[in-house]
């Protein structure tokens, strides 16, 4: 049986993704994203449009010193302007100056856009495409041609849309990318038009947007119809509703369709790469993303949990470790002791459902939920609760007291609050103070300042998100609140919870859990390194064939 051709992936996080609302990359950010994508093994990184802004031009100058292991950088730009020779066109000159091995060149393929937007004749547009590709090829660049609005253009005038592809092909473009620029096509149309585009006799690609929620579906459909090149953004963010989520596309291609796209073993770094890129973009990760989100392998119902513990394939379509993710059992009133058993066995491997420690943990969980705690979204706090029930929890520090003050109006908004903490650490009294842009920020800084001398790894920890919810059934300013704090380091993100009628106390409880969890996690990692058992919990590889139906 002939092996299906490999699918080339092009990531446009630094170009199309940067057009998403709230996204802005510095030059340093862009280099960090390039390194993350290169480590993952993405074939082509579309790193920006050097003719559009000084930052992208500066990036390409800086990027000349990069030594990439797997990826190739590409500059992005448009065909020449009307009534301009290629050698006199500033846009094309900027693409050559970027000095990348590949140029992604876009041109119009919809008659409506040619006439109404460009304001040129159909013949002139074909010449603009052919002249531009030929000019870049004569300068030694590989060229990928993005046929903008191809699916709308093909629906309006199939012959002209195909003529645009032929113009690029004849001038030397190596791949013709069919762009669903408005994101409005259905998979049936993508499949039909991609098959019909094969008449040009050149490799085809797909560039799908997600305006109809079909970016991934249209990308996979195009591959089934013959495309061998897929463009998207690793975490799916981009202009309007975003681009095809390349992390989902890559996992589907390799695990479901048997199509190589990242190389052996690369998928195991997928979840980490998505988190890294999202963090650099200063966005909150979408935890509901397929494969890589924290909820992708989260189980809550007791019967589901019990089934997964017996055989993960019962409720998981692939093993979490295959994509660098992990299984999570959510503790709640509907989870039962099956959830606690799974978590408890990480602490006490021989625990049984009727063990005193498990009974004690179940009672503690019920009591805390009665007070307003909720642990299904705060697993770090849950682990600490379980360690207390198991008798294995030893606090890293003890609070003697804390105090916060604020001032309004403040001359400096970043220092409008002050905090003092007094702790006992390893038998010593430690006092620290800090100022911040709010009392919780100031408390966090003061606590870190007091502890980092004892625990240096805390220097790499930061608060990633802070949420407050007023609990139902409580009244006005006397309300009980639940505080959730997301914290992160270079490897992980974790969530802790605190509940109180005093918002500062609730915040302090969540802060303490966050620090304690970080220190516990570091201790466990160090123990695994010393024993050579860093992957003790990773049993997913042996489930891969069974869960994927192989």
The residues carrying an active-site annotation are 304
Q: Which residues contact 267 (CB under 8 A, 6 or more apart)?
A: 250, 251, 254, 255, 322, 323, 324
Task: State how far the Cα of 245 lies from the Cα of 282, in Å rounded to an integer.
Answer: 18
Q: Are 154 and 198 in contact (CB under 8 A)?
A: no
Distance CA 511, CA 508 (A): 5
Count H helices and E strands in the chain, helices first. 18, 16
Whether the CB-CB separation of 368 and 362 falls below 8 Å is answered with no
Which of 202, 95, 82 shows the shortest CA–CA distance to 140?
Answer: 95
E-state strands within 39-141: 44-46, 72-78, 102-108
CA–CA separation, 248 and 377 (whole Å): 23
Record the tokens describing residue 393, joined without a space: 């929890």
Side by side, the strands of the sheet bearing 398-406 are: 398-406, 417-425, 428-436
Q: How far is CA 361 from CA 248, 298, 346, 373, in A?
A: 37, 21, 14, 14
**Residue 174 DSSP label:** S
Q: How far apart are CA 258 and CA 244, in angstroms?
A: 19
Residues comprising the chain, all counted? 550
Helix (H) / strand (E) element for 319: namely none
In whole angstroms, what is the distance from residue 20 CA to residue 209 CA? 12
Place of tokens 């949420």: 467
Q: Percent helix, strand and coil across the chain, each rounded to 5?
A: 45, 20, 35
The conformation of residue 468, written as its DSSP 8-state character, comes to: E
Q: Residue 33 and residue 46: Cα distance in Å, rounded?
A: 11
CA distance 181 to 186: 13
What are the helix (H) ranges across 198-269? 215-224, 246-251
């Amino acid at each position: 049986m002939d092996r299906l051709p490999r699918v080339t992936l092009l990531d446009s996080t630094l170009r199309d993704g940067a057009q998403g609302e709230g996204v802005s990359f510095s030059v340093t950010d862009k280099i960090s994203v390039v390194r993350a994508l290169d480590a993952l093994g993405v074939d082509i990184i579309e790193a920006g449009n050097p003719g559009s802004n000084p930052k992208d031009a500066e990036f390409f100058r800086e990027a000349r010193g990069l030594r990439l292991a797997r990826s190739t950088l590409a500059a992005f730009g448009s065909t020449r302007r009307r009534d301009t020779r290629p050698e006199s066109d500033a846009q094309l000159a900027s693409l050559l100056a970027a000095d990348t091995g590949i140029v992604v060149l876009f041109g119009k393929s919809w008659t409506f856009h040619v006439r109404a937007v460009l304001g040129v004749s159909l013949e002139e547009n074909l010449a603009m495409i052919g002249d531009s590709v030929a000019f870049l090829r004569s300068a030694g660049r590989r060229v990928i041609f993005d046929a903008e609005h191809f699916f709308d253009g093909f629906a309006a005038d199939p012959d002209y849309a195909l003529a645009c592809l032929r113009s690029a092909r004849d001038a030397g473009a190596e791949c013709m990318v069919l762009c669903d620029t408005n994101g409005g096509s259905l998979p049936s149309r993508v499949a039909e038009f991609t098959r019909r585009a094969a008449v040009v006799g050149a490799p085809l690609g797909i560039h799908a947007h997600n305006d109809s929620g079909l970016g991934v579906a249209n990308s996979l459909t195009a591959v089934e119809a013959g495309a061998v090149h897929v463009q998207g953004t690793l975490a799916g963010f981009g202009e309007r509703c975003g681009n095809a989520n390349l992390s989902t596309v890559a996992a589907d291609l390799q695990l479901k369709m048997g199509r190589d796209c990242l190389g052996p073993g690369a998928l195991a770094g997928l979840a980490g790469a998505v988190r890294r890129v999202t963090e650099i973009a200063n966005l909150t990760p979408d935890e509901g993303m397929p494969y890589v989100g924290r909820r992708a392998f989260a189980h809550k119902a007791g019967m589901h949990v019990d089934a997964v513990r017996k055989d993960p394939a019962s409720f998981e379509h692939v093993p979490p470790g295959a994509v660098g993710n992990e299984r999570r059992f959510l503790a709640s009133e509907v989870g039962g002791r099956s959830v606690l058993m799974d978590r408890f066995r990480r602490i006490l491997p021989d625990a049984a459902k009727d063990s005193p420690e498990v009974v004690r943990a179940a009672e503690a969980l019920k009591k805390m939920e009665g007070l307003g705690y909720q642990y299904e979204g705060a697993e770090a706090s849950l682990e600490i609760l379980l360690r207390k029930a198991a008798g294995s929890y030893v606090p890293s520090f003890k609070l003697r007291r804390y105090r916060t003050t604020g001032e309004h109006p403040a001359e400096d908004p970043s220092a409008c609050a002050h905090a003092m903490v007094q702790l006992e650490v390893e038998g010593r009294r430690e006092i620290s103070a800090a100022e911040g842009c709010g009392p919780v920020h100031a408390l966090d800084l003061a606590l870190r300042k007091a502890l980092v001398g004892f625990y240096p790894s805390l220097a790499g920890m930061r608060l990633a998100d802070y949420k407050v919810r007023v609990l139902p059934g409580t009244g006005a300013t006397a309300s009980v609140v639940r505080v959730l704090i997301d914290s992160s380091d270079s490897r992980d993100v974790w969530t802790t919870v605190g509940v109180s009628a005093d918002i500062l106390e609730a915040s302090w409880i969540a802060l303490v859990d966050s620090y304690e969890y970080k220190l516990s996690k570091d201790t466990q990692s160090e123990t695994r390194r010393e024993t050579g058992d860093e992957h003790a919990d990773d049993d997913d590889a042996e489930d891969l064939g069974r869960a994927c139906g192989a």
